[in-house]
Structure 1
Amino acid sequence: MSRPAPTPIYTLRGAGGPLNTLHFSCHGGDTPLLYSASGKGAIHIWNLNTRRAERIVEGHSGNSIIWVSTLQAAHTLISQGRDMQVCLWDLSEGRSEVVDSVWTGSVGFCQCSVLETSPGNQLLAFAGQQTEEIKIIELPSKTPVCTLVPDAKVGMVMCIKLWQPDSGPGPLLLAGYEDGSLLLWDVTQRSELSRAKAHPEPVMCLTFDPERLRGISGSSEKTLSSWMLDRQNNLQLQDDVTLVNAGVSQLCIRGDGKLLASAGWDHRVRVFGWKKLKPLAVLQYHTDMVLSVAFSDHQDPRQRLLAAGSKDQRVSLWSIYNEGADTG
């Protein structure tokens, strides 16, 4: 007998707008939290024990918020809005105030990427005012580090990912562009290391596994493209995954490197084994495009969750493949 189709263990309602981005914070303190940000400029901080919004933070002048994250420094939230601002929030002791902001000048949908370089210090990468440029600054000082502009015409920057390699200097940055290209940048040298043409359409999203030096990207078409870095930091295209329906908003790899989730324009979340890209499950609940997916960072593997946020203004939470299942 085939397994019954999975259902959400619960859903969160009341966000009041399309759910563009999700971020878990479950490893510190007693209360596991999920941050969601909407197209109406609201950030909901959901208490996963009570399954209710503990707090609602309004920002970015009501403009759509496209990215949220937390910094290691306690109670510091960072958000990016379509008002061309990145805001740093102090959420300690019941506060919800913007303590600093960065003007990006970008009107696109490219989400920022943040990398902790030392305790209390981060690098922040974001799409700049010019179509193809990526700017990187240090936080909290806001000192400019570099501006990365490709030599060839690749169109608008669509998605970026900062990461720190285990060996050699760093950090490095992966970027997907409007013409379907992926570029790997050396931030320190401000130079392009390699490129690959991963898609015929714009790269809508990418995610990267620094331990395995392997990544995957999606676009508006029916194909996910997987790729890897060799020892010389050359991008090498690997297998493609053909989807039933076109369009992927976001991709996410679980922290243990076993699962990959995709947010589909067809209202579905698809789950694959990350090792061999074996299809494992199709999660059907939402009534509109799924815009975001995130795996929780619980320390206990049995508590791990997958969250999906949709244009239908709901967040679904799922518990899947937590007990050593063969994910392939």
Structure 2
Amino acid sequence: MNRRAPPPPDPVMELCGSSPVTCLAFGDVVFAHKKSTFFSGHQNGKILCWNLTSQRVLTQLEAHSETVLWVINPKENILISQGREGLLKVWAADQSNWKLLCTVPTAAFIFCNSSLLSLAKHYMLSVPVEDSGIISVHCLLNDFTLDSEQIPQRLTPAPQREHGMCMKTCSFLLNDQSPRLLVAYEGGSLILWDILLCVALSKLKAHPESIMCLDICATKETGVFRATSGSVDTDLKSWLISEDTLTQDRTVSVTNPGLGSLAYRRDGRIVASGGWDGLCRMFTSAKLRPLVVLSHHKESVQCVAFSEENRLAAGSKDGYITMWDVYVNK
């Protein structure tokens, strides 16, 4: 007798952000003796800092004049945000407010995120710039101010016209010493860059159309990483990065076209996607085997993120954020 699979769970929490949700980040910031562990960026340019215990907004930051593309809390009381108007901003917590430390110009009116990599004595910040398809790499000091003595490196694909503009970036450390950047492009290609040498190490045609989402994680094998990408069609694809070479790993097709967001669970064993159909899907990262489909949002799921406890957060165009306890650490 065949047993039916149990129905997918309901979200354990729903937060209303009032404006379409465009990016999410779990963090650790202290305000007025309360700990907030969650940030949401919105289409109206605001960033909300949430207390997940009370499910209330602690602070609201008027961060950008356009859509917030990317937000990250890399260190206690430091916040970095990127807006579609063409500015990346570094903020420091000042009592119950945020103080602007510095700004970095980025490409305007595109959808590519920036990427931050922590090194021994500084941070490496990779941002898309106005010239089509080019990434500029800046040095942030340990206090998160710009290193004025460092000239930004530029990663320029050739030929530029073939690749189009940057769509997504992911930076990582190979063997704890070699900074790498994986960039997805409008033309559907992926390029693996050596950031220090400004050299393209490996590239391939990943999708027939624009890559809309990308994430990367380490595997159990030393020096081997796995990336997953999605596009406007129904195909979710994974890639292996070994010895500075990109190779295709797996492909799985979902029911409806349009994959807009991806995130690996912290241990790298599960990858979650957000779709234009309003659904969140979870897969095993090794084989892209479907695990569960989470249905709650009425519009496109534009961002997904995992907490350190492996709780999944999903932000939607409908203005709501859901939290899911699916395959969490118990």
The Cα RMSD (Å) is 1.8
- 1:19 offset after TM fit, Å? 0.4
Contact 1:19 1:36 in 2 (8 A): yes
Query: Are 1:20 and 2:22 an aligned pair?
Result: yes
TM-score, normalization: structure 2? Answer: 0.90
SS in 1 for 2:95: helix
SS in 1 for 2:178: coil
Q: Which runs of at least 4 in structure 1 moved beyond 2 Å after TM superposition?
A: 26-32, 140-145
Q: Give 1:226's aligned amino acid.
A: S
The answer for the alignment partner of 1:222 in structure 2 is 234
Between the two proteins, the alignment pairs up a number of residues equal to 313
- 1:59 offset after TM fit, Å? 1.7
Contact 1:125 1:136 in 2 (8 A): yes
What is the percentage of aligned positions where both structures have the same residue? 33
Query: Are 1:194 and 2:174 an aligned pair?
Result: no
| Partner residue of 2:86 out of 84, 87, 93 | 84
What does residue range 47-196 of structure 1 map to in structure 2 within 5 Å?
A: 47-61=51-65, 63-72=66-75, 74-118=76-120, 121-139=122-140, 140-142=145-147, 143-152=150-159, 153-166=162-175, 169-196=177-204
Distance 1:30 1:319 in 2: 23
Distance 2:5 2:64 in 1: 47
- Once the two structures are superposed, what CA deviation does each residue of 1:267-287 show, in whole Å capped at 9, x if it has no partner? 000011112211011000000
- Once the two structures are superposed, what CA deviation does each residue of 1:57-116 show, in whole Å capped at 9, x if it has no partner? 11213x1111100122x3010000011010111114222121211111433110111111
- Once the two structures are superposed, what CA deviation does each residue of 1:131-164 show, in whole Å capped at 9, x if it has no partner? 1111110112243331011122211111111111
Distance 1:26 1:252 in 2: 19
Distance 2:230 2:108 in 1: 22
Contact 2:274 2:281 in 1 (8 A): yes
Contact 1:131 1:155 in 2 (8 A): yes
Distance 1:258 1:238 in 2: 15
Distance 2:314 2:55 in 1: 15
- 1:239 offset after TM fit, Å? 1.3
Q: Give 1:5's aligned amino acid.
A: P
Distance 2:44 2:272 in 1: 25
Contact 1:205 1:248 in 2 (8 A): yes
- 1:26 offset after TM fit, Å? 5.1
- 1:27 offset after TM fit, Å? 9.8
Distance 2:124 2:198 in 1: 14
Contact 1:26 1:297 in 2 (8 A): no
- 1:130 offset after TM fit, Å? 0.6
Contact 1:88 1:98 in 2 (8 A): yes
TM-score, normalization: structure 1? Answer: 0.91
Unaligned runs of 5+ in 1: 299-303
When residues 176 and 306 of structure 1 are mapped into structure 2, their CA distance, relative to the original with a 3 A threshold, is same
- 1:30 offset after TM fit, Å? 7.2
